[in-house]
């Protein structure tokens, strides 16, 4: 374990058996102060990783389905966008991933909600396996794998 740091980033000494309640309370406060920051950072990493996995798995014909994975902070996107195709289908991937990176990077501190949305009417059909380019449930697979990447493989998703 890396050790605790104070508000200036200095390592705190390890607890001693003769630690007073006041010292213990101070150390617990420092630990507690780090929770919101750590949580926000985890949410950002998770959203970016999941978005990358879903976008890369989305089947491509015109690039519209990939381009319409929209990341929003605080609420889900309601719009659709035209395909971003400056370099053919690879552009749809780069455009969608760039939009996600910008949205996540510009999110306010202590962000608790990041939405990944695709409002195309046929995205459900694609996810149900209508394209030979992607397996059925590619969205769920992207969520699983994106989560595993961030959490070091410690994610188990069970079916109901």
Name which of 108, 41, 28, 36 is nearest 72 in CA terms.
Answer: 108
Identify the pLDDT of residue 49: 95
Report helix, strand and coil shares of the chain as percent, to nearest 5.
50, 10, 45
Which of 88-92, 138-142, 150-154 shows the highest mean pLDDT? 138-142
Q: What's the whole-number average pLDDT of the chain? A: 85
């Amino acid at each position: 374990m890396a050790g605790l740091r104070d508000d200036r980033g200095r390592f705190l000494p390890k607890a001693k058996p003769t630690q007073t309640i006041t010292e213990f309370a101070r150390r617990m406060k420092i630990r507690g102060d780090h929770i919101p920051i750590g949580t926000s950072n985890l949410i950002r990493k998770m959203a970016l990783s999941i978005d990358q996995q879903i976008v890369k798995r989305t089947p491509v014909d015109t690039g519209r389905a990939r381009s319409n994975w929209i990341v929003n902070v605080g609420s889900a996107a309601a719009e659709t966008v035209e395909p971003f195709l400056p370099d053919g289908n690879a552009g749809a991937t780069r455009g969608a991933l760039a939009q996600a990176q910008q949205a996540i990077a510009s999110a306010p501190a202590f962000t608790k909600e990041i939405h990944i949305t695709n409002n195309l009417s046929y995205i459900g059909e694609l996810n149900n396996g209508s394209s030979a380019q992607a397996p059925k449930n590619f969205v769920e697979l992207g969520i699983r794998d994106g989560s595993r990447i961030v959490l070091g493989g410690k994610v188990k998703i069970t079916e109901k």
